[in-house]
């Protein structure tokens, strides 16, 4: 009998062993990583924290626990037993049949499955493509659709990627009318988020700027900043808050419109507005006796220009279209874009070449005009009928860039309006050799952000660029920082894949040999540490 039992046992045990498989299930992400690292007492004991600090051991994402919601969802899968978990690997150990385990890849939060029996991994059941797509969707907040080129041109998308899309910033758009903004699907997000703060028509003295207007111009302009059609069009500051003011009477040209504009700017100041976009300009009027001469565009003659300079003194940042007179007899930047306190925006085409209609600068103006440029030829806008179309004009290059500047100021809230303007200028493509066509050129707002952080002395908040990258990573450091930086690169499974020591004169890491995907950069310097997501494309 004992032999019989022994024979049965010998036969039975191998069958059970081979029917059940062991595997590690790696998760794609963790919950509240930044908050946990910022408050380590929520994930570690004080003794553990003290030990790490004493030995300069970095507290990073690996110290954050595995997402228990993910584990709970795995546990209820029939045929699967969760045996163990690891926060360091962001993984769990499971046991079950081969087929049941392979089915776990269908959970959106599962990044990879690694069988203990290595021969089972040859089937490539884990979807690397699916993981990569999810990582890219996580990092890239928006699919810009038609509007991609016009935000990529000045690296505004990089600010969005860093989490700056206008939240907490208030913008006043001063224009000629905003038909259907209160009903259009393209502005549903703006309304649902409570970011349409108010409106007023200074021409007709009522709050209705959405109907009864003879111009659709303001709707088109607003779409460049606040428009949102998922996977088709995203404005440059989609999460900012907006006031809409009408000061332009589209049926006539009269200097009273300058006075309406000053009224609107005064109201914006009283409402705490940060940035004003104006895609209007004033040079000549229906009554020629009211018209200006080009020599009056001297930054301090026109009533609206003098009002703009006061608005600048009050702390607001004014962004204004340069004008569309490049091909006509007037040619030069008009009022109020001629003001010293206004950031005037000229236009280029999709390739960054001068758009010939864009108004030029002139020696009569007290500062470089235009200041900078953005895409204004073949720009994409959303019409009052919820249709995406292509349009020309500095009317559009101005709000396209204004939205990016909104995001920059959100990222650098301690900067003054003058400092933000100067960072934009200094980041531009021809800052050292400006001209009357492109001014200082096309800004690089990602570089402006880096410069701003360094100037603020935030050497502990280390910046790297470009991100995403195709291979080379450049690290910015304060000029007086002579320390050695230890740079460690980890993949999504928490494995260290590259390490380097950087110093002054050596601020580059080459990751071109690594596979495409998301990585975590751990930077240790002077008893401080940073963790930054990097996307290798």
What letter would DSSP give residue 433? S
What letter would DSSP give residue 361? -
Catalytic residue selected from 157, 160, 165, 175: 175
Q: Does the annotation count 60 as an active-site position? A: no
| 3-state per-residue secondary structure call for 298-344 | CCCCCHHHHHHHHHHHCCCEEEEECCCCCCCCCCECCECCCCCCEEE
The separation between CA 358 and the C-alpha centre of its own chain, rounded to angstroms, equals: 27
Nearest by Cα to 203 from 144, 264, 154: 264
Distances (CA, A) of 504 to 275, 390, 460, 482, 534: 37, 46, 15, 6, 22
3-state SS, residue 68 = helix
Task: Say how many residues make up the chain.
Answer: 537
3-state SS, residue 448 = helix
Nearest by Cα to 137 from 520, 530, 517: 517
Q: Does the annotation count 395 as an active-site position? A: yes
Catalytic residue selected from 126, 359, 395, 529: 395
Secondary element (H or E) of residue 97: none
Distances (CA, A) of 15 to 11, 12, 79, 220: 7, 5, 16, 70
Distances (CA, A) of 494 to 22, 150, 380, 534: 21, 36, 42, 14
The separation between CA 121 and the C-alpha centre of its own chain, rounded to angstroms, equals: 38
> What distance in Å separates the CA atoms of residue 260 and residue 287, rounded to the nearest whole number?
18
Catalytic residue selected from 126, 215, 217, 239: 217
What letter would DSSP give residue 206? B
Nearest by Cα to 370 from 421, 309, 303: 421
Catalytic center residues: 175, 217, 395
């Amino acid at each position: 009998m004992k032999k019989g039992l022994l024979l049965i046992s010998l036969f039975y045990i191998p069958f059970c062993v081979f029917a059940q498989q062991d595997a590690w299930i790696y998760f794609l992400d963790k919950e509240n990583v930044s908050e946990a690292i910022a408050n380590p007492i929520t994930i570690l004991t004080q003794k553990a924290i003290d030990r790490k600090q004493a030995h300069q051991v970095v507290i990073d994402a690996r110290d954050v626990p595995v997402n228990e919601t993910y584990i709970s969802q795995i546990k209820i899968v029939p045929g699967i037993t969760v045996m163990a978990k690891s926060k360091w690997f962001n993984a769990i150990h499971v046991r079950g049949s081969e087929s049941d385990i392979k089915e776990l890849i269908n959970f959106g939060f599962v990044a990879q499955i690694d069988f203990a029996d290595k021969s089972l991994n040859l089937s490539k059941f884990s979807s690397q493509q699916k993981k990569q797509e999810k990582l890219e969707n996580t990092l890239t907040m928006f699919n810009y659709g038609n509007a991609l080129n016009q935000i990529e041109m000045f690296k505004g998308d990089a600010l969005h990627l860093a989490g700056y899309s206008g939240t907490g910033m208030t913008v006043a758009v001063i224009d000629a009318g905003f038909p259907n903004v209160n009903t259009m699907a393209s502005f549903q997000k703006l309304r649902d988020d409570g970011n349409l703060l108010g409106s007023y028509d200074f021409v007709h003295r009522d709050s209705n700027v959405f109907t009864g207007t003879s111009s659709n111009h303001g709707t088109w302009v607003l779409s460049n900043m606040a428009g949102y059609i998922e996977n088709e069009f995203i404005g440059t500051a989609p999460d900012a808050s907006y006031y809409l003011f009408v000061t332009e009477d589209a049926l006539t040209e009269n200097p009273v419109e300058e006075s309406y504009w000053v009224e609107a700017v005064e109201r914006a100041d009283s409402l705490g507005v940060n940035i004003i976009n104006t895609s209007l300009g004033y040079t000549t009027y229906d009554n020629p006796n009211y018209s200006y001469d080009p020599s009056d565009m001297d930054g301090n003659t026109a009533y609206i220009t003098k009002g703009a300079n006061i608005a600048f003194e009050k702390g607001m940042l004014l962004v204004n279209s340069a004008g569309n007179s490049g091909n006509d007899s007037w040619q030069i930047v008009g009022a109020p874009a001629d003001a010293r306190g206004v950031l005037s925006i000229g236009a280029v085409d999709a390739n960054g070449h001068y758009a010939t209609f864009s108004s030029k600068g002139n020696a009569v103006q007290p500062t470089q005009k235009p200041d900078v440029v953005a895409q204004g030829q073949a720009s994409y806008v959303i019409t009052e009928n919820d249709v995406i179309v292509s349009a020309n004009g500095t009317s559009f290059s101005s709000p396209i860039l204004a939205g990016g500047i909104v995001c920059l100021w959100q990222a650098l809230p301690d900067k003054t309006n003058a400092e933000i303007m100067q960072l934009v200028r200094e980041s531009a493509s021809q800052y050292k050799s400006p001209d009357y066509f492109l001014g200082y050129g096309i800004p690089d707002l990602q570089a402006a952000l880096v410069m701003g952080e360094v100037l603020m002395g935030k050497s502990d908040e280390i910046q790297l660029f470009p991100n995403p990258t195709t291979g080379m990573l450049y690290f910015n450091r304060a000029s007086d920082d002579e320390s050695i930086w230890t740079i460690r690169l980890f993949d999504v499974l928490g494995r260290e894949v590259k390490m380097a020591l950087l110093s002054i004169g050596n601020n580059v890491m080459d990751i071109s040999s690594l596979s495409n995907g998301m990585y975590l950069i751990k930077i240790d310097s002077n008893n401080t540490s940073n963790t930054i997501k990097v996307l290798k494309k």
